Amino acid sequence: MLFQPVNKNYHEFCIDRDPDLCINCKVCVRQCSYQAHYFDEARQKVMHDNTKCIGCHRCEALCPTAALNIRNKPSDFRANKLWRPVFLQNIYKQADTGGVLLAGMGSPVDIPVYWDRMLLDASQVTNPSIDPLREPMELKTFLGAKPRQLKIETDKNGKSTLKTKLSPQIELDVPIMFAAMSFGAINFNLHQAMARAATEMGTVYNTGEGGLHKSLYKYGKNTIVQVASGRFGVHLDYLKAGVGIEIKVGQGAKPGIGGHLPGEKINNMVSETRMVPIGSDAISPAPHHDIYSIEDLLQLIFALKEASEYKVPVAVKIAAVHNVAAIASGIVRAGADIVTIDGMRGGTGAAPAMIRDNVGIPIELALAQVDQRLRDEGIRNQASIVAAGGIRCSADVVKAIALGADAVYIGTATLIAVGCTICGRCYTGKCPWGIATNDPKLSKRQNPDIAAKKLSNLLRAWGHEIEEMLGGMGLNSIESLRGNRDKLRGVGLSDTELDILGIKHAGR
């Protein structure tokens, strides 16, 4: 008897096809990279296989007659608070495969989203609000170490001269950057789109750990280059190509482990950029094998500063974990100009599901503690703080800056802007929207001109909303909001949570 895995019957989605609207045009067949739709020659009609549907909604979006509807499968297991359906399905899968469960994008677990538990202040009578349409608003941000004080000398003719030597800075017209997503994990069209959008909007994008393709060096003034444990694509010209260098120690979606780009994604361009053979797996070790202490990190920081002739700031990216404040303090004392903190909801192309959903802490708690620790130690001016991992809208940006961030990274929001529906199958290389794939046919679905325009529109819209919120608080610059937690109030939070965030409860 032919055995069928029991897990095959427990798929997540159902495809509803309206027979009165479907014209058998085969658009869904061509668009589905998972072969959930197919043309039945015997019946001469388009059919579908629900077990292959991943819920990306591309067929539904492109159906010319709106004949398709993708929905969650209504059938479910017997209710059990301990053994929720996801655990049953995971065990069935692993019993069939004997493998590690992989997942893409950020963690979907039901842990409080603290952005939604914080509310912003607004001016009323005694502190009038500001109309951003009629009065100037300043969103410009500088990332890098700042002097504790400025020394200025004035000569007998009244001419003033700055005597304090300033550290190199990254200048941002908006406090939002495109997060690190490596070339290979996403395709060249998206990297080009991020570079062009960052240039247009006066911000930067991060190359991620896959290096920088030579055709994108012209966007260097809007690029942060990343150095990760695998050292893919790292060479002297690369280190000098951008306006900043970031050492990736950890990632919010998978703290404590490395990365793995399958050989199927290593095509000619990725091979050339990452400096690995075509078709070979690109493995990033869990640790940097030259970093086993803060002193080792200090050596790498200054080696990179030396290589870049001390012309650009050096950042260190860590995952938001327990004791993150103490770790950040050590990083600043080791000479980092920027500390990037990536929360547990940060996205990824691939991570073990158990690690993604159970390791790390939310960015809101980590950010507040790092900012306070650096202030308490009197070293906050020595480094900027960048928050990442779960930034969904302009209000999240404003709240992050009020908690102490100088700027934020957006990764998942960047991908959503160009069509991503968070189906979470990035690791398969079959992204139906042409994002997390290097398949030539699928990659063409992302037009870099259109994608760049969408990303520019997103930052422009968020910038306008940030100005409106600042004006409503009676502030005319983002600098006045940074670390100003008195502009935040908590709702439905415990005393411990309020204490960690450093904010008062609403009504106080």
Q: What does DSSP assign to residue 183?
A: B
Domain edge (last residue) among 99, 116, 144: 99
409 domain residue, yes or no: yes
**Boundary (domain end) residue, out of 46, 79, 99:** 99
Which pairs count as long-range contacts for 144-151, CB under 8 Å and 24+ apart, including other chains? Answer: 144/168, 144/169, 144/170, 144/313, 144/337, 144/338, 144/384, 145/313, 145/337, 145/381, 145/382, 145/383, 145/384, 146/381, 146/382, 147/381, 148/381
| For the ranges 85-89, 161-165, 382-386, the one whose mean pLDDT is highest | 382-386
What is the pLDDT of the chain when averaged over all its residues?
94
Q: Is 62 within a domain?
A: yes
pLDDT band at 75 (very low <50, low <70, confident <90, very high): confident
Region 182-202: mean pLDDT is 96
pLDDT, tens digit (0-9, with 9 covering 90-100), for 86-115: 999 999 999 989 999 999 999 999 999 999
φ/ψ of 187, rounded to 5, equals: -90, 175
Residue span of the structural domain in which 193 resides: 168-482
Mean pLDDT of 233-237: 95
| 475 found inside a domain | yes
The CATH number given to whatever domain includes residue 203 is 3.20.20.70
Annotated binding site for [4Fe-4S] cluster: 22, 25, 28, 32, 53, 56, 59, 63
Same domain for 186 and 48: no
Q: Is the confidence at residue 2, as pLDDT, over 60?
A: no
pLDDT at 483 over 50: yes
Nearest CA to 412 among 126, 134, 140, 105? 105
Decide if 157 is inside a domain: no
Quote the CA–CA distance of 496 and 442 in Å, as a whole number: 48
Q: What is the pTM of this model?
A: 0.94
- pLDDT reading at 1 higher than 70: no
The pLDDT of residue 215 is above 70 = yes
Does residue 83 share a domain with residue 182? no
Mean pLDDT of all residues in 122-130: 89
Q: What is the predicted pLDDT for the residue at 3?
A: 59
Q: What is the mean pLDDT of residues 396-422?
A: 97
Mean pLDDT within 212-237: 96
pLDDT grade, residue 83 (50/70/90)? very high
- On whether both 64 and 178 belong to a single domain, the answer is no
Domain boundary among 52, 68, 99: 99
- Do both 77 and 174 map to the same domain? no
Structure tokens at 13: 């989605």
- Whether residue 226 is found in the same domain as residue 304: yes
Do 52 and 201 reside in the same domain of the chain? no
Whether residue 90 is found in the same domain as residue 175: no
Position 402 in a domain: yes
At 289-342, the pLDDT tens digits run 999 999 999 999 999 999 999 999 999 999 999 999 999 999 999 999 999 999
**Helix or strand (DSSP H, E) at 353:** helix 353-358
Residue 190 and residue 85 share a domain = no
Asked, for residue 505, whether it belongs to a domain, the answer is no
Are both 367 and 452 inside the same structural domain? Answer: yes
Please tell me whether residues 87 and 186 are part of one structural domain.
no
Task: Name the pLDDT band for 169 (thresholds 50, 70, 90).
Answer: very high
What is the per-residue pLDDT across 403-415, written as a single tens digit (0 to 9) for each? 999 999 999 999 9
pLDDT for the residue numbered 260: 85
Q: How many domains does the chain have?
A: 2
pLDDT at 222: 98
Q: DSSP letter at 149?
A: S
Give me the percent of the chain exceeding a pLDDT of 90. 88
Assigned domain for 261 exists? yes
Which residue's entry shows tokens 């388009």? 46
CATH code where residue 65 lies: 3.30.70.20
3-state secondary structure of 47: strand
Q: What is the pLDDT of residue 5?
A: 66
On whether both 173 and 252 belong to a single domain, the answer is: yes
Tell me the average pLDDT across 394-423. 97
Q: How confident is the model at residue 261 (pLDDT cuts 50, 70, 90)?
A: confident
| CA atoms of 98 and 88, how far apart (whole Å) | 15
Q: Is 507 part of any domain?
A: no
Residues 204 and 348 in one domain: yes
Binding site listing? 22, 25, 28, 32, 53, 56, 59, 63
